[in-house]
Amino acid sequence: MGRDKALLLYQDRTLLQHVSQIVETAVGNVTVIGPPERYTGLGLRVVPDIVAGSGPLAGLVTALRETNRQWVLLIACDMPNVTSKMLWDLVITSSRSDADAVVCDTGRLHPLCAVYHRRLLPTAEAALSERSLRMHDFLAKIHVERWPVSDPKLLANLNTPDELHAIGIK
């Protein structure tokens, strides 16, 4: 896209702030995984990726290392349509699950809207050290519970300028 989607303005704040507010309403706190020099001024807790430039898997490893909780909600910052209720329901489902991860499913898995158990840390670290960075490859190695989401628009992410314009971002 040529620019940092997290910093795009959406409804009078950045896309990252918008999604972070939804997450905070759902679960009570938010930690942004990414470059602190880029996001610190947004009023959010920011922790740098354990291995910068290694994508969402590095973010997951960082989040699992940072938490003292059993489960971590991982969500991309470019999903402006998610709702707090949906995320809360996802988290509640994970608390009752024996899976390693509870992953949103709209007919395809959405590894960047999922809840991961802390016991996955060694598996995620191994994948990261092997440079096996694709999240779908990681999901194939673990016990996943698919969590159906009936409206795919809730998980729509923004990847093209046309998608940005469709929701009012220029």
Q: How far is CA 93 from the centre of its chain?
A: 17
Q: Which domains, and CATH codes, for the chain? A: 5-164 (3.90.550.10)
- Mean per-residue pLDDT, 66-95: 96
Closest C-alpha among 15, 22, 13, 50 to residue 164: 15
Q: How confident is the model at residue 3 (pLDDT cuts 50, 70, 90)?
A: confident
Q: Which residues contact 160 (CB under 8 A, 6 or more apart)?
A: 1
pTM metric for this prediction: 0.93
Confirm if 75 and 112 have CB atoms less than 8 A apart: yes
Residue 169 has pLDDT above 80, yes or no: no
Going by pLDDT thresholds of 50, 70 and 90, the confidence category of residue 164 is low
